[in-house]
Chains A and B, each alone.
Chain A
Amino acid sequence: MPEDQESLLFPYRILELAGEKSCFCGKILGDMGADVIKIEPPGGDAARTIGPFYQDKLDPEKSLYWFAYNVNKRSITLNLELEEGRERFKDLVKTADAIIEAYPPGYMAKLGLGYEDLCRVKPDIIVTSISPFGQDGPYRHYNGSDMVCWAMGGMMYLCGDSDRPPVQVSFPQAYLHAAADGAAVTVMAVYHRNLTGEGQQVDVSAQACVTWTLMQAPETWSINRLNTKRAGIYRDRPAIQAQDKQIWECKDGYVHFILLGGAAGASFMPQVTRWIKEEGLATAWLSKVDWAEGFDSYLLKPEDYEQIEGPLSEFFRRFTKKELYQRAIKEKVQLCPVMDAREILENEQLKSRDFWKDLEHPELGSTIVYPGPSLKLSETPLSLRRRAPLIGEHNEEIYLGELGLSVERLEALKQIGVI
C-alpha cells in the first residue's frame, strides 16, 4: 500500500491490465500515490519482453523498459481467459476505482469484461481504454504499432531528412503520449465520480494524441492550405517559403539554436552578434542589424538569412557544446546543446534539483539511478517509492491479505493456471 496517506491519489486503487500501451499510465498514477495493481497473465506481461535489458540479459525480470514504467506498482498474476480468473478479477473490481486496459478494442467485451459488464460489478467503475486508433470507428480493428500511430497522427512526415524516409524517434513515443493522457483522463474521471457518483469509460486514441504534438503544422494546412515538410537540421517555414537552420555543428557535437526577431530576438540576438564580431566573422549586414525592428523571423528574407547562416555556422564550429552552453546561460541566450544520455546525467541543473532517484533492486544486488517524477508539488510531492514488481510478487499479499482467499484456495488456483 502507498506509505504516504497524504499523497495526491492516496484513496484510490487502480487495476492496470497487461500490455505495452498501459504501463506508463499506471506509473504516472503510482507516482501520485495511487495503489496501482498490475494484473499480469501467468508467466508475466508481454511488456517484460521489451528491451533494453539489465546487463543485456533477456529475462522477463530484467527489462529496463518494464523497470522504468512499472515503478510504484504491485503485481499479481491472473488468467482472464479462464472463468475462475474472471471471477477473481471481478472481486478486485469491487475494490477498485478505475481500470486501465490497452487490449485490442472488443477483447474485454469478448471476455465478458466490457464496460457494461464491469458496471454490473461496480456501477461507478471507471474504465480507461488505450488503443492505437480508438474503441470505435473505421480503424478500430486496424493493427497498430507505435511507428504506425506516429505516422498516421502526422508527426512522422515532419521528422527526418528531406532526401530520406520520414522517421520516428529511435525511442518510440506514440504510445507513451496515449498512456500519459490515459493518466490525465483517469484522474479527471475520478474527480467527476467523486462529485456526481457517476463512473464512465474513456477512450484514448494514440493516433489522435500524436496529432496534438504537431505544434502549428495542422493549422498551417487548415488556414493557409500548406503542408509542412521534414527538413532535417533545418526548420520548414512553408508560409514564407523558407527554411532556417536549427541544429548547428559545433566542435564536439551539435547545438540547438533558432533565430528570432522582435522582442524575444532582441533579448539575445545582440549578444550572439557580439560573439560573432569578437571572432571576426560578422558580415556588414550582421554588424548593423537591429534585431527588434529590422529583423522579423516570421518574414525571413533569403538574402538576410544568407548573411546569418554562414558566419553563425563558422562561429559554432569553433567552440564546444559546453563552452557555448555556459556562455548562453550566462548571457541569457536561447541555445541548448544536443545532449545524449551521458550528458543528461551530468546536467548540473538536474543534479541541483535533486532529479535523479536511486531505487534498490535487491534481487539484482544493485541500485539503479532513475529519472525522478515529472513535477514538483509543494503539499503532496510525487515520489518513486518502490521498484517495479516481480511477476506476481504480491499474489499472497493481495489474494490472501486483501481478498481473503485461503492458502489452500490460492494453491488450487495456481494448480489450474488461474494464478
Chain B
Amino acid sequence: MQIFDGIKVADFSWVIVGPRSTQYLAEHGATVVRIESPSHPETLRTGGPFLDFKTGVNRTGFYARYNTNKYGASLNLSHPKGIEIAKKFVEWADIVAESFVPGRMKAWGLDYEELVKTKPDIIMLSACNQGQGGPHASQPGYGVQLASLSGFTHLTGWSDRAPAGIWGAYTDFVSPHFIAAVLAAALDYRRRTGKGQYIDCSQLECGLQLLSPAILDYTANGRIRERQGNRCPDAAPHNAYRCKGDDRWCAIAVFSDEEWQSFCNALGNPPWCKEERFSSLISRKKNEEALDRFVESWTLGHTVEEVVSVLQASGIAAGSVAKCEDLYGDPQFMHRNLFQKLSHAEMGTQPWEGPPFIFSKTPARLYKSAPCLGEDNYYIYTQLLGMSDEEFVQLISQGVFD
C-alpha cells in the first residue's frame, strides 16, 4: 500500500519546480504522467550531464533526476486535436500541474476556469517564477535568477567581495516542499468537501519563507543582513577548514564554552587552546581570524575523515564538505538507501536519488527510471485514457504525438 495509490496526476509542467513537486507523489504511489512536446523538448532534456557526453533528449541525468517513477507521454498541443486530448488527461486526473509563463495555459484554453468545466473538482497547480498576477508576472526566467531576487545571493559569500551566490536554481528546491504539503492537503480537503481548487505558486514568495527572520530583522529593526562567509554569531570556531588532500575541507561548529573545552581536549590541548583570547565565546568571536588559523594548522595535518572522527567522538559537530562523488559512498546515505539503481532504456543502470525521508509503514519505492520522451504513449493513451488501438494508431498517423 502506497500513500497516493489511485491518485492520478496530469503533469504539463517542466524544468524543475513542477516536476520536482509531482515527484513527491510519484515516489509514493501516484500515477504521474509527464505530458511533453517533442518539437519543443523540455529544457532539462537539452541540458547535461549526458551519458558519454553525447547529447540526446533521453540521455541526460538532469531530466532523469526529477522524473523517476513517472510515465512519459508526448503530445503536440499545437495540433488541432492536441487540446482535445489534453482535456482527456484532465478528465482522467485528480491533479493537473503546469509551470509555463503565466497566460500560456489560458491561450490554449487550459486555464483553471476552463478545466473546472471539464472536471469540477480538479486540483490545479501553476508553478511559475513570480505568481499568476502582478507587474512582473510575465518576465521569463528560472530559479537561478530568482535566488538573487529573493535575497539568497546577497547573503552568500564574503563580506569583502562580490556575492558568490548560491549554487543552482535554488528556489526550485524551496517551493516543492510547500507544494507537496498543499497538494496532499488539497486531496484531503477534496475528500472531506468534494471541492478541488487552484494553487498559485510564486517561487519568489516561497523562497522568502526561508529568510523570514532576516526579513523581520529589517522590518522590525531596520537592519539589512549582509553575507559573512561562514561566521555565526553563536559559535566559534565555525567554518570550513582545509584538510589533507585535494580541496578537502571539514565543517566544524563549536557553540558553547563547554563544547570548546571538549574541542580542545579532542585536539590534545595544544598551547594555543589555552590562550586567554580564546577562553570564552565572546573572546573567540573577537579573535576569530587568529582562531581559524590555529584550527586550520591542526586540520591541515589530517585527512577530513580523521578530523571528523576525532571531533565527533568528543561530541563536536563536524562533517566533511562532501564533493558530489562522496555522496554516493556516504555510509549514512547507503544505510538509508538514498540512491537506488534503476535501469533506463538509453542510460543503462544508474543510481537515482530517492526521497530524503522514510515512512515507516509506506516507504517510497523507486521502480521506474525517468521516461524517454513519449516512451509510455501506448500504455497511457490506450490503458489510462481508454483509447482503442485503432484510434491510437490514427492519432499517430495524424501527427498528434509529434
Contacts and interface: CB of A to CB of B under 8 A. Distances in A.
Interface in A207-261: 207-209, 211-230, 232-233, 239-240, 246-247, 249, 254-258
B301 to A, nearest CB: 17
Interface stretch (A37-45, A156-164, A284-292, A403-411): A156-164
B208 A329 contact: no
Interface SS, A side: mixed
A377 interface: yes
Contacts of B234: 50-51
Contacts of B322: 151-154, 156-157
Contact of A370 (B132, B216, B233): B216
Given A233-B164, A334-B141, A55 B220 contact: yes
Contact of A147 (B61, B112, B209, B232): B232
A32 B185 contact: yes
Contacts of B208: 344, 355, 371
A350 interface: yes
Given A221-B328, A223-B350, A371-B209, A191 B188 contact: yes
B70 interface: no
Interface residues of B, number: 165
A245 to B, nearest CB: 10
Given A52-B221, A233-B165, A379-B195, A203 B357 contact: yes
Contact of B325 (A208, A227, A375): A227
A57 B198 CA distance: 42
A159 B356 contact: no
A92 interface: no
Interface stretch (B39-47, B92-100, B282-290, B380-388): B39-47
B361 interface: yes
Contacts of A347: 149
A194 B332 contact: no
B343 interface: no
Contacts of B209: 24, 28, 180, 371, 374
Interface string A344-374: 1101111011010000000000101111101
Contacts of B345: none
B64 interface: yes
A227 B324 contact: yes
B317 to A, nearest CB: 4
Nearest to B347: A223
Given A379-B197, A380-B197, A188 B180 contact: yes
Nearest to A256: B148
A216 B61 CA distance: 7
Contact of B61 (A222, A240, A256, A350): A222
Interface in A135-160: 136-139, 142-145, 147-160
A181 B210 CA distance: 13
Interface in A188-207: 188-192, 194-196, 198-205, 207
Contact of B331 (A137, A173, A204): A137
Interface string B138-175: 11111011111111111111100111111111101111
A157 B321 contact: yes
Nearest to A49: B234
Closest 10 CB pairs of A and B: A219-B61, A208-B356, A180-B177, A215-B168, A137-B335, A151-B251, A256-B148, A158-B167, A68-B212, A341-B218
10 contacts: A152-B321, A155-B167, A156-B322, A190-B188, A202-B357, A217-B168, A232-B157, A233-B164, A239-B50, A298-B48
Given A52-B221, A224-B50, 7 more contacts: A165-B242, A208-B336, A208-B355, A213-B173, A233-B163, A368-B219, A374-B205
